[in-house]
């Protein structure tokens, strides 16, 4: 009787896990190596097809399951869907700049190992802001107001990086990164409050997993890998 109850109450969506793993794993290979040197093109095409099959079939399968491994029906809730999309673009922009700034400073401006140190002050800014996210005064602030104040500041930092060229000063790169990360902690905190405002408590773990997946997926779409990052930086300078 106990075995029957355990079997009835504990179900694992093996097919959903397999399809999603196939799609996301193949996508990572395509994005990491698809724009590199033109070798083994046929293999890239195979992984691209596997990516499409895995993602499309995984979505269709998960939408039809009563207990899916990823409950995509949660995206019907408007606040949660918008917050998840925001985290996707946050992962895209933040991780892209994290990869490209050291590459740009080291390979094109010949700053050596100090190129990576340009990110350190920005990390300190994030740490200081994260320390205030749990402040009761911050929790009382309307999330819409905090988003309107902090999110544009993060965007301004990214816009400042758009005009970089080979005459860039090292100090300007450090200040631009600090400006980009200024308010990031509060922005993420506000995004999380908006996301789970109307999510039932029993689905909070599932919602957290979906948001983390969106952020990781955004990271996968940026310039990942040393060769690709250096190529992207050089192409940007050549077009300028």
Q: Are residues 11 and 115 in the same domain?
A: no
Last residue of a domain, one of 70, 99, 118: 70
Q: Are residues 105 and 124 in the same domain?
A: yes
Q: What is the mean pLDDT of residues 195-223?
A: 83
Q: Which residue has the higher pLDDT, 239 or 76?
A: 76
Q: What is the DSSP string of 109-162?
A: S--TTHHHHTTHHHHHHHHHHHTTTT-HHHHTS-HHHHHHHHHHHHHHHHHHHT
Same domain, 59 and 134: no
Determine the 3-state secondary structure of 214 from DSSP. Answer: helix
Residues 187/157, Cβ–Cβ less than 8 Å: no
The parent domain of residue 98 ranges over 74-239
**Confidence tier at 54 by pLDDT (50, 70, 90):** very high
The answer on pLDDT for 103 being more than 60 is: yes
User: How high does pLDDT run on average in the chain?
Assistant: 77
Instruction: Give the separation between CA 88 and CA 189, rounded to whole angstroms.
Output: 15
CA proximity to 146, closest of 158, 162, 129: 129
Q: Are residues 151 and 216 in the same domain?
A: yes
Give percent helix, percent strand, percent coil of the chain, each to the nearest 5. Answer: 75, 0, 25
pLDDT of residue 56 exceeding 90, the answer is yes
Provide the whole-model pTM. Answer: 0.72
């Amino acid at each position: 009787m106990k075995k029957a109850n355990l079997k009835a109450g504990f179900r694992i969506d093996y097919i959903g896990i397999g399809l999603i793993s196939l799609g996301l794993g193949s996508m990572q290979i395509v994005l990491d190596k698809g724009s590199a040197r033109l070798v083994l093109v046929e293999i890239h095409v195979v992984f691209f097809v596997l990516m499409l099959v895995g993602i499309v079939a995984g979505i269709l399968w998960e939408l039809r399951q009563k207990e899916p491994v990823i409950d995509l029906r949660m995206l019907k809730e408007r606040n949660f869907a918008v917050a998840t999309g925001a985290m996707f673009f946050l992962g895209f922009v933040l991780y892209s700049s994290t990869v490209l700034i050291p590459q740009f400073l080291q390979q094109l401006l010949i700053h050596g190992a100090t190129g990576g140190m340009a990110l350190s002050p920005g990390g300190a800014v994030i740490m200081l802001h994260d320390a205030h996210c749990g402040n009761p005064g911050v929790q009382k602030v309307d999330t819409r107001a905090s988003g309107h104040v902090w999110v544009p500041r993060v965007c301004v930092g990214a816009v400042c990086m758009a005009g970089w060229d080979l005459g860039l000063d090292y100090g300007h790169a450090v200040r631009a990164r600090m400006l980009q990360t200024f308010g990031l902690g509060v922005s993420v905190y506000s995004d999380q409050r908006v996301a789970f405002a109307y999510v039932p408590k029993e689905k909070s773990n599932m919602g957290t997993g979906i948001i983390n997946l969106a952020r990781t997926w955004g990271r996968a779409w940026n310039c990942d890998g040393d060769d690709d990052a250096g190529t992207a930086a050089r192409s940007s300078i050549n077009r300028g």
